[in-house]
Amino acid sequence: AQSVSQHNHHVILSEAASLELGCNYSYGGTVNLFWYVQYPGQHLQLLLKYFSGDPLVKGIKGFEAEFIKSKFSFNLRKPSVQWSDTAEYFCAVFSGTYKYIFGTGTRLKVLA
């Protein structure tokens, strides 16, 4: 069965620290990959997406993610986090069977 694993459930960083959130998926075929963010009290919003082409994709607010096919990974990165990045982050996979599979999420807290 398809699945998405996010290894870090809670992350606490100070402002200006670098961020990397792990995401691994299990599916052997072509996938589309997404990172969504949920700020406190708000709905899920798209951060970035990968469909094909350059495996390094850039999203909003300075986030980027790298698709490494051989590792089935799609890790999210940001060089310098801000207090306003405090949120929950979800990795998701779309495998073409109508379903999006989400990871369990990583709750990020950035200390001012």
Partner 1 sequence: DTGVSQDPRHKITKRGQNVTFRCDPISEHNRLYWYRQTLGQGPEFLTYFQNEAQLEKSRLLSDRFSAERPKGSFSTLEIQRTEQGDSAMYLCASSPVEGNQPQHFGDGTRLSIL
Q: How far is the CB of 71 from partner 1 (least distance, A)?
A: 21
Q: Does 77 bind partner 1 (CB under 8 A)?
A: no
b (16+ CB within 10 A) / e for 17-26? eebebebbbe
Query: Interacting stretch for partner 1, rule CB under 8 A, among 3-11, 12-20, 60-68, 79-87?
Result: 3-11
Bridge partners for 78 per DSSP: 19
Residues 61, 10, 46, 71, CA torsion sign: positive
Least separation in angstroms between residue 97's CB and partner 1 is: 8
The reply to whether 46 sits near partner 1 by the rule CB under 8 A is yes
Task: Tell me how far the alpha carbon of residue 48 is from its chain's centroid.
Answer: 8
Phi and psi at 17, nearest 5°, equal: -75, 160
Task: Name the residue nearer to partner 1 (CB basis): 18 or 97.
Answer: 97
Interface residues toward partner 1, by CB under 8 A: 4, 6, 9, 32, 34, 36, 42-46, 49, 51, 90, 92, 94, 96-105
